[in-house]
């Protein structure tokens, strides 16, 4: 153990913007003195300098080769390194067969459908997902929710292009006697945090022993700070930031038209419909979050199953088994063939893989040479 205090976490991770708001530091804190607010972790009590927060923090990086051995029993082959999607057993293009889930999900609701399937089969008691709006103490910050019903799962469906401290909820799950097993949903960074915790020998502790599945999301999006996100929402709707009370965002067509809806302080709502490329153009004018510039993981490589626009990437035997069963039981069905969308997705995959595996790796080396803070993946 490092025997470092919260001050060190603040100095090395929070002040340097290496934090990506996963929430793990708060969950692992032995004194329960790290609270999570809209601006991230804050000291809220007496720190015993046990060092758990700093040691577990995936913002500082993770020993990726060791995690591969831990999760898959081996490291990537040369061909897998080249492909850029991590180690996997199979990759399928499926969607939910439930029309409501399909409509509310971001790309076919396959992830939400699998969670609903696991809940129905009583293989999990709940899932840690992410909600907008009233579930979040901060309206424009997406927040973890322990969903134990189909309705709560559906409320969480859809992609939020902001950070969500999903690992924060591990603590509440550990302390809830009604929950014996969960699936955790998150981005690649959340998955690295989960696996790093197990690597540190924490798999038998309460925090991880109820985690049955790790479901990751592909991520190539330019994440921005909470303030930049608010400024961007304000720009799209032409409403001053201080008048915004809540945010909702969902995909409404196969062609990636998205509906943005905001609630105003005066109780009114304001809607805008845009194409995703238009949104990404606007958001790219804001500064990409410092930590995301060093991310090398596009396809949530350490999950049991990763979910992308046209991918259900089954990585572990347990992950592949549940996808096959949900397919066999009719909860998942093949996606309708769509050449245009498939080509778009393939193009996006290639450019995001290049960004993460080439540009970001070069950037890490360059920043390291210049003495700037970067994550360590050795």
Ligand X SMILES: Cc1cc2nc3c(=O)[nH]c(=O)nc-3n(C[C@H](O)[C@H](O)[C@H](O)COP(=O)(O)OP(=O)(O)OC[C@H]3O[C@@H](n4cnc5c(N)ncnc54)[C@H](O)[C@@H]3O)c2cc1C
User: Which chain residues interact with ligand X by CB under 6 A?
Assistant: 105-112, 129-130, 142, 156-162, 164, 166, 185-187, 217-221, 307-309, 348, 352
Looking at the Cβ atoms of 81 and 346, the one nearer to ligand X is: 346
Looking at the Cβ atoms of 51 and 86, the one nearer to ligand X is: 86
The nearest distance, CB 186 to ligand X, in angstroms, is 5
* Phi and psi at residue 39, to the nearest 5°: -95, 10
The nearest distance, CB 82 to ligand X, in angstroms, is 19
What residues contact 85, with CB distance under 8 A and at least 6 apart? 91, 298, 299, 301, 313, 349, 353
The nearest distance, CB 112 to ligand X, in angstroms, is 3
The nearest distance, CB 192 to ligand X, in angstroms, is 13
Give the Å distances, CA to CA, from 204 to 199, 200, 208, 211, 238: 11, 11, 7, 11, 50
d(CA 181, CA 28): 18
Looking at the Cβ atoms of 18 and 185, the one nearer to ligand X is: 185
Looking at the Cβ atoms of 50 and 118, the one nearer to ligand X is: 118
The nearest distance, CB 123 to ligand X, in angstroms, is 16
Give the Å distances, CA to CA, from 83 to 297, 299, 308, 354, 377: 12, 11, 15, 10, 19
Residue ranges of alpha helices (H) inside the chain are 6-9, 24-28, 52-56, 64-72, 78-83, 99-104, 110-120, 150-156, 169-174, 188-197, 206-209, 226-237, 276-283, 317-328, 339-354, 360-369
The nearest distance, CB 332 to ligand X, in angstroms, is 10
Looking at the Cβ atoms of 63 and 222, the one nearer to ligand X is: 222
Looking at the Cβ atoms of 63 and 220, the one nearer to ligand X is: 220
d(CA 277, CA 275): 6
């Amino acid at each position: 153990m490092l025997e470092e205090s919260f001050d060190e976490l603040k100095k090395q991770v929070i002040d340097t913007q290496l934090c990506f708001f996963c929430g793990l530091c708060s969950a692992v804190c032995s004194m329960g003195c790290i609270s999570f607010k809209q601006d991230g972790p804050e000291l809220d009590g007496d720190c015993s300098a046990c060092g758990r927060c700093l040691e577990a923090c995936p913002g500082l990086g993770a020993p990726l080769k060791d995690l591969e051995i831990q999760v898959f029993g081996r490291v990537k082959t040369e061909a897998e390194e080249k492909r850029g999607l991590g180690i996997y057993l199979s990759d399928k293009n499926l969607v939910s067969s439930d029309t409501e889930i399909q409509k509310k999900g971001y790309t076919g609701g396959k992830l939400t459908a699998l969670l609903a399937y696991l809940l129905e089969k009583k293989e999990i008691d709940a899932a840690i997902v992410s909600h907008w709006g009233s579930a979040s103490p901060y309206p424009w910050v997406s927040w973890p929710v322990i969903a134990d019903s189909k309705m709560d799962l559906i409320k969480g469906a859809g992609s939020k292009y902001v950070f969500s401290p999903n690992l924060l909820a591990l603590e509440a799950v550990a302390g809830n006697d009604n929950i014996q097993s969960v699936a955790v949903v998150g981005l690649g960074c959340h998955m690295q945090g989960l696996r790093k915790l197990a690597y540190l020998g924490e798999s038998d502790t309460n925090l991880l022993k109820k985690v049955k599945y790790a479901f990751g999301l592909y991520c190539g999006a330019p994440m921005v700070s909470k303030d930049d996100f608010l400024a961007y929402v304000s720009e799209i709707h032409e409403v001053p930031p201080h008048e915004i009370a809540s945010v909702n965002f969902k995909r409404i067509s196969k062609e990636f038209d998205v509906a943005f809806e905001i609630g105003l302080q005066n109780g009114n709502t304001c809607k805008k419909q845009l194409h995703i490329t238009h949104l990404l153009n606007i958001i790219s004018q804001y500064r990409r979050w410092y930590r995301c510039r060093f991310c090398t993981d596009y396809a949530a490589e350490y999950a049991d199953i990763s979910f992308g626009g046209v991918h259900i990437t089954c990585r572990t035997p347990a992950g592949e088994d549940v996808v096959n069963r949900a397919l066999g039981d009719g909860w998942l069905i093949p996606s309708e063939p769509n050449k245009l969308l498939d080509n778009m997705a393939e193009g996006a995959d290639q450019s995001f893989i290049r960004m993460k595996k080439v540009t970001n790796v070069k950037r890490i080396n360059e920043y390291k040479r210049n003495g700037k803070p970067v994550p360590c993946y050795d």
